[in-house]
Structure 1
Amino acid sequence: MQPTFETQRLILRPFQSTDASKVQELAGDIEVARTTLSIPHPYPDGAAESWIGACRKSADEGEGFPFALISKESNTLIGCMSLNIDKSHKRGELAYWVGRSFWGDGYATEAAKRLIDFGFEDLALNKIWAAAMTRNPASSNVMKKAGMRFEGEFKRHILKWDKFEDIVFYGLTRIEYEDRGEEV
């Protein structure tokens, strides 16, 4: 069973079937799709419903925890923050997107910090990592602000819309996470 979390400005909860039209609207924005590794554009009809069903299955099996980011102020869906689990290596990949009208407000960083805590404290992961296209520095900034460290860059690593893209990787190990507490 996937938990629900609360941060200062957000509720992080499992996706519901009623979120599908908003997911299609927000993730289907060409500017959101352009800067993510896997969101298609145009966003096909029915894809959000299928994806939400896959989210439930993933959480039930402990393989991934995609959270709907809900603004407490407006009670509306503003994005997604997922922690995708590789059980055999006790690590999780942080992946996310935020609707364009909510960019630059710190919501992704706020959610990332909460999911990092969830990954280390509740799931007992050894490492959490994330990746972003080099042409999406805002995503890299989320990783940095959430306490992750730069680990490297892979040149021309993915093919996005017929163009090869460079990817940067950030990570945080359990030891680094636990040491952060002593620094505060």
Structure 2
Amino acid sequence: MILETKRLRLRPLSVGDSERIEELAGDYDVAKTTSTIPHPYPKGSAKDFILHVLEAANKGKLVIFAITLRGTHEIVGLINIHVNQANNRGELGYWIGKPFWGTGYGTEAANAVLAIGFKKFKLNKIYAQAFTSNRGSWRIMEKIGLTYEGTLKQHIYRFGEYFDLAVYGMLREDYVGITK
């Protein structure tokens, strides 16, 4: 599946993307905004990551895209929805490479993925979480219409300290992109 927006093309990942993912995700400033990107990023491990997420996608547990600039293959970040089929919900996750922060690419990509989550996959709820210290991430959630649901106190232990998570969500019935 490929999604296109005004400035972006969201396409499937391939093993050939591993070096670019290591380059962008290997930046400490990117890694520290997530709960899972290792730092330092182990050389060669992006290939294993890609194979793992593609397997999860084939099982219907994940929808993941490389965020690229339209007209190029240049990856600027990744975006996904972890699908919980038993509860008909998905968790939106994303990261944008530091050279592309402040461009609106995260918001543009998140809007596109939110739409397919509700329209194509018929999810009842889509939610996302971000460190409360990561203003850029939770601002994306607000811009795409997710509503603040609460804070999980000291929920993540990372790089030697505890972090609070802000949780945002949207129900299918509240998504204005769906015609009833």
Q: CA deviation at 1:73?
A: 5.1
* Count of residue pairs brought into register by the alignment: 179
Deviation for aligned residue 1:41: 0.1
Cα distance in structure 1, aligned partners of 2:174 and 2:72: 35
Is there any run of 5+ residues in structure 2 with no aligned partner, and where? none
Pick the aligned partner of 1:20 from 1, 18, 21: 18
Aligned Cα RMSD in Å? 1.2
Alignment of 1:1-184 (within 5 A): 3-72=1-70, 74-178=72-176
* Secondary structure of the corresponding residue to residue 167 of structure 1: strand
Letter in 2 for 1:54: H
CA apart distance, 1:74 = 4.5
User: 1:68-112: CA deviations, max 9, x gaps?
Assistant: 001115431100011110000000000000000000100010010
More helix by share: 1
Q: Secondary structure at the match of 2:175?
A: helix
The amino acid across from 1:120 in the alignment is F
Normalised to the residue count of structure 1, the TM-score between the two structures is 0.94
| Greater Cα offset, 68-77 or 54-63 | 68-77
**Which string of whole-angstrom CA distances, capped at 9 and with x for unpartnered residues, describes residues 18-46 of structure 1?**
10000000001000001111111000122
**How many Å separate the matches in 2 of 1:115 and 1:69?**
11
Runs of 4+ in 1 over 6 A off after TM superposition: none
Inter-partner Cα distance in structure 1 for 2:86 and 2:44: 32
The share of aligned pairs that are identical, in percent, is: 40
Gap regions ≥5 residues in structure 1: none
